[in-house]
Amino acid sequence: MSFILRRLVFYLVAAWVALTINFFIPRAMPGNAVQSIMSKFPNLQPSAYHALEVNADLATLAGASTTAAQTQALVPIEQFVAANLPIIPTTTASEWFEYNSQNYTGWPTQDNPYETGQPSGTNNGPGSGTDEVVILHLSPRT
């Protein structure tokens, strides 16, 4: 029993030290810790500075109390994302099928899209796939 108690006390002390170092000490320091560290590296990529600006814009958005203020706070964030995001997804209706029609026919096609092919089925939750629907439509190639 004393072995378990000693281990438990050790883990509690280790967790307290880790939490103190990671969360409490940096928040108790004066100034902005990220800005002070970044000022020590003048050759830092400009995108890192922009990320700090976006963080400030996100803080402004979080503090906005009205819809008009939120809309105004979103403008610089939208501009940053539009200028720096490598790809902007424009659809959520992707086709996920990958199949081989060498031995079976009846797979969903553009002309007959009876199934979406999403890994989770019809977006009803995990494990609700509708592979059975596809299997029932397949027939051996003759």
Examine the domain organization and report whether 82 and 121 are in the same domain: no
Our count of domains for the chain comes to 3
Examine the domain organization and report whether 96 and 138 are in the same domain: yes
Instruction: Output the tens digit of pLDDT for each of the chain's 142 residues.
Output: 789 999 999 999 999 988 888 877 777 777 776 677 667 776 666 666 667 778 888 888 888 899 999 999 999 988 888 877 767 666 665 556 677 888 888 888 878 877 766 655 555 555 555 677 788 888 998 8
Examine the domain organization and report whether 131 and 107 are in the same domain: yes
Examine the domain organization and report whether 120 and 141 are in the same domain: yes
Note every long-range contact of 85-94, with CB atoms under 8 Å and residues 24 or more positions apart, other chains counting.
94/118
Query: What token pair was written down for 44?
Result: 């830092």
Q: Please give the model's pTM, rounded to 2 decimal places.
A: 0.33
Range of the domain at 13: 1-30
What gap in Å lies between CA 16 and CA 11, rounded to an integer? Answer: 8
